[in-house]
């Protein structure tokens, strides 16, 4: 593995499978009375959030604490609209505090990349979502969720990837960091990806992404093994990306009629936060097909795996749940 996790594209297939296997081992911790491992004792993980995202921050915080790391939450004010000096100054401060890893969320695409490559800090940098660029740990947790349900052999037992599985990613691909990271990672793991959106919400150059694209959700759903609905902000309407919320929902929303087009085993996913009634109806989100709640649980395990693999400096997971040191 690289020292940083900036893009899902940084992960080789071996890297990605290692994260998934490690996450599977760590996930079993959640079922035990004492949920802590000593793996990162004495190490410091900083959650550096320039953008509010309580759910992602809490997920990383829980992951770091379960590995016994010291966690510092740093909610920085400052955005790409004001001068970006604060990113550098903050990085220098954290460097002085001896952060081993910086988990960064920023509204500017490439901000984690800058942190990792400018010499402002020697810490490992983990991208927790940057602008409209990427969100690699979200893609890992999504892949992990799919893998547990869909991997050949079932329940992730066989190792391997998601070869031949068909995943539809639906919605505002243009502005979605989740879509970018998912497209990259799912292809690495051998899945076939179809991005579904109105033409206005597909990026120029998407032909080069090694994925299928479609404007027609109904034609994609019957073949899908999982469908991931992306959040669509109502404000996109005022920028003329689509005429009305109602028309968007009618053409690209997942309601119970559309859910009926899915295969028996197909999963319904959403990276959250959902806009119920816009891209997904409440009954679909709460249905038995939906693994949206499980995605949250899996998020902690995957982030533990990432922190462990980046910081414990091991290329192989040495954790076993029977390790006596593990449950102290």
Partner 1 sequence: MTSYLIKNARPYGGEPTDVLVRDGVVAELGASLTPEEGTEVVDAGGAVLLPGLVDLHTHLREPGREDAETVDTGTRAAAQGGFTAVHAMANTDPVADTAGVVEQVWRLGREAGHCDVYPVGAVTVGLAGEQLAELGAMADSAARVRVFSDDGKCVSDAVLMRRALEYVKAFDGVIAQHAQEPRLTEGAQMNEGDLSGRLGLRGWPAVAEEAIIARDCLLTAHVGSRLHVCHLSTAGSVDLVRWAKSNGWNVTAEVTPHHLLLTDDLAATYDPIFKVNPPLRTAADVEAVRAGLADGTIDVVATDHAPHPHEDKDCEWSAAAFGMLGLETALSVVQHTMVDTGLLTWEQVADRMSVRPAEIGRVADHGRPIAVGEPANLVVFDASVTRVVDPTETASLSRNNPYAGRELPGRVVATFLRGRPTVLDGKVL
Q: Which residues bind partner 1 (CB under 8 A)?
A: 80-85, 87-88, 106, 108-111, 113-114, 117-118, 130-134, 174, 177, 180, 203-206, 208-209
- Residue 82 is classified by DSSP as S
Contact assessment for residue 272 and residue 292, using Cβ atoms and an 8 Å cutoff = yes
To which residue do tokens 């829980």 refer?
Answer: 62
Provide, rounded to whole angstroms, the least separation between the CB of residue 173 and partner 1.
Answer: 9
Q: Which is nearer to partner 1, 178 or 305 (CB)?
A: 178
Rounded CA-CA distance 122/126 in Å is 12
Provide, rounded to whole angstroms, the least separation between the CB of residue 287 and partner 1.
Answer: 32
Q: Which is nearer to partner 1, 106 or 149 (CB)?
A: 106
Q: Which is nearer to partner 1, 110 or 272 (CB)?
A: 110
To which residue do tokens 């990837």 refer?
Answer: 161
Rounded CA-CA distance 205/316 in Å is 37
Q: Which distant-in-sequence residues (6+ apart) come within 8 Å of 52 by Cβ?
A: 75
Provide, rounded to whole angstroms, the least separation between the CB of residue 113 and partner 1.
Answer: 4
Please report, for residues 1, 157, 225, 255, the alpha-carbon distance to residue 148 in angstroms, rounded to integers and kept in the order given.
22, 8, 13, 25
Provide, rounded to whole angstroms, the least separation between the CB of residue 175 and partner 1.
Answer: 9
| Maximum Cα interatomic distance, the chain, rounded to a whole number of Å | 60
Q: Which is nearer to partner 1, 30 or 206 (CB)?
A: 206
Provide, rounded to whole angstroms, the least separation between the CB of residue 90 and partner 1.
Answer: 11
Rounded CA-CA distance 320/324 in Å is 9
Q: Which is nearer to partner 1, 66 or 133 (CB)?
A: 133
Rounded CA-CA distance 83/81 in Å is 7
Provide, rounded to whole angstroms, the least separation between the CB of residue 123 and partner 1.
Answer: 17
């Amino acid at each position: 593995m690289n020292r940083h996790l900036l893009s899902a594209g940084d992960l080789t297939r071996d890297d990605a499978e290692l994260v998934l296997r490690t996450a599977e081992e760590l996930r079993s911790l959640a079922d035990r009375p004492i949920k802590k491992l000593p793996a990162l004792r004495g190490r410091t993980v900083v959650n550096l959030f320039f953008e509010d995202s309580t759910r992602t921050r809490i997920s990383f915080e829980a992951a770091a604490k379960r590995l016994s790391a010291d966690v510092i939450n740093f909610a920085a004010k400052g955005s790409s609209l004001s001068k970006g000096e604060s990113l550098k100054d903050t990085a220098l401060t954290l460097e002085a505090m001896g952060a081993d890893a910086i988990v960064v969320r920023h509204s500017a695409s490439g901000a984690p990349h800058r942190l990792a490559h400018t010499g402002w800090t020697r810490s490992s940098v983990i991208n927790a979502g940057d602008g409209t660029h990427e969100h690699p740990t979200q893609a890992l947790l999504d892949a992990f969720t799919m893998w547990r349900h869909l991997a050949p052999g079932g329940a992730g037992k066989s190792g391997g990837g998601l070869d031949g599985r068909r995943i539809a990613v639906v919605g505002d691909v243009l502005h979605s960091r989740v879509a970018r990271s998912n497209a990259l990672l799912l292809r690495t793991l051998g899945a076939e990806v179809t991005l579904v959106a109105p033409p206005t919400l597909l990026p120029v150059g998407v032909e080069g992404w090694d994925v299928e694209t479609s404007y027609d959700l109904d034609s994609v759903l019957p073949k899908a093994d999982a469908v991931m609905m992306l959040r669509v902000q109502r404000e996109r309407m005022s920028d003329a990306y689509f005429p009305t919320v109602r028309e968007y929902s009618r053409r690209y929303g997942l309601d119970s009629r559309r859910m009926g087009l899915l295969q028996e085993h197909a999963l319904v996913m959403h990276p959250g936060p959902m806009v119920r009634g816009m891209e997904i109806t409440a009954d679909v989100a709460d249905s038995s097909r939906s693994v949206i709640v499980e995605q949250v649980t899996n998020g902690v395990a995957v982030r533990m795996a990432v922190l462990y693999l980046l910081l414990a400096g091991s290329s192989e997971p040495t954790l076993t749940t029977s390790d006596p040191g593990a449950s102290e």
